[in-house]
Amino acid sequence: MLSEELLEQIATVKENHKKVGLVQGSWDLFHLGHLRYILKAKELCDFLIIAMDSDAKIRKRKGESRPVIPEDERFEFIKLLNIANGIVVKPVDEPKWNLIKTVRPDVLIAIKENYSDEDIVKLGEFCGRVAVLPRQAETSTSDKIRKITIAADKFRRIAMAAEPNEKEDIKAGVLEAVEKLKKTIGFDGANMPDPVPDLIEHAKESTDWVAPVTAGCFYNQKWHFATNQVDFSIPRYDLKNRTELFYATIEHAEIKLLKRLGEVEKLDVPVWVTLFPCDRCIKVLADKGVKEIRYLEDHPERNWSKRSHERAKKYGIKLVKVTPDGEIYE
């Protein structure tokens, strides 16, 4: 929206017989064509206003997948270019040409494809002139996105699921991780309270070879368990290197457990986990009505654990650490 301050500045510029220019765009995935376009626009006036479509406006025109870069970031980018004298974010449901009619620029800078010849004549009513520029680069943001998508798709197909021998390695890794888990939590196999032996046994079904997390609960007269599952359809590189994509695509044991239980309205039983849940799982469990979490392993020095504990406290969830020496209440 146009601020009062900017409106006043525009009036002053006009009073001083200087030229106000207006250029508009989405400026999503800012590229060379955008920069050239803005610089050309700057040459044509003394005071350049850069208008930027809001996220909602772009979504409406180009679909849910756009913009790639959110509004705040696009705004800051344009601001830091230090070319514009004023930046305006265009809301989604603005009447046609509202900004142009309000600013009444001495020069409206436009790309040929965006306006018909008829439009350009009509726009002359509200502008000193319309400067129509050709496209400033071979590609557009949409082209770039198409290319990235094609490349990603190719890469995905090349780098598909692990090969059979890798699967064996993964299985061995899981078993090793389960042994490590036993050591970490200090239960050596004897005198383990229920359901710790089952939790550990189920951990072997996990496909995560570093954190074979199990979640379980006693519901409807029986125990239910679920484990962390890795998404093997992500590129092999991400699997091997446990990248952000890897972590983002792991199915967490807690979520899987809830799925397994089906349509449960309220889960008013303690949930057991081998590893303290992440903050997102805490939220999902809290939303399901879980009031108590009993866990075996935790890493209180890690940021994720701190976040999770804070969130659990916020939701009033009772936290119990189960150790060989007894239960520790938080």
Establish if 217 lies at the interface with Zn ion (CB under 5 A): no
Q: Nearest approach, Cβ of 24 to Zn ion (angstroms)?
A: 43
- For position 185 contacting Zn ion by CB under 5 A, the verdict is no
In the complex, the smallest distance separating the C-beta of residue 254 from Zn ion, rounded to whole angstroms, is 6
From residue 258 to residue 297, what is the string marking binding to Zn ion with x (rule CB under 5 A)?
--------------------x--x----------------
CB atoms within 10 A of CB 96: 7
Nearer to Zn ion, 192 or 281 (CB): 281
Could you tell me which residues come within 8 angstroms of residue 221 by beta carbon, excluding any fewer than 6 positions away? none
In the bound state with Zn ion, the residue whose beta carbon lies nearer, of 252 and 321, is 252
Q: By CB under 5 A, which span of 14-22, 73-81, 157-165, 247-255 interacts with Zn ion?
A: 247-255
Among 289, 290, 294, which Cα is nearest to 273's? 294
Q: Nearest residue by C-beta to Zn ion?
A: 281
Residue 62 and residue 60: Cα distance in Å, rounded?
6
Is residue 215 a contact residue for Zn ion (CB under 5 A)? Answer: no
By the rule CB under 5 A, 253 interacts with Zn ion: no
Q: Contact, 53 vs 75, CB < 8 A?
A: no
C-alpha dihedral sign at 262, 267, 269, 272: positive
Binding of Zn ion by 107 (CB under 5 A): no
Residue 88 in the binding site for Zn ion (CB under 5 A): no
- State phi, psi for 302 to the nearest 5 degrees: -85, 150
Q: Tell which one of 252, 294, 309, 311 touches Zn ion (CB under 5 A).
A: 252
Name the amino acid, one letter, at 192: M
> Could you give the 3-state DSSP secondary structure of residue 320?
strand
> Shortest approach of Zn ion to residue 284 CB, angstroms?
8
Size of the site for Zn ion (CB under 5 A): 3
Helix 279-287 / helix 303-314 crossing angle, nearest 10 deg = 20
Q: For residues 79 and 178, what is the distance between their CA atoms, to the nearest angstrom?
A: 52
Please report whether residue 311 would count as binding Zn ion according to CB under 5 A: no
Residues that bind Zn ion (CB under 5 A): 252, 278, 281
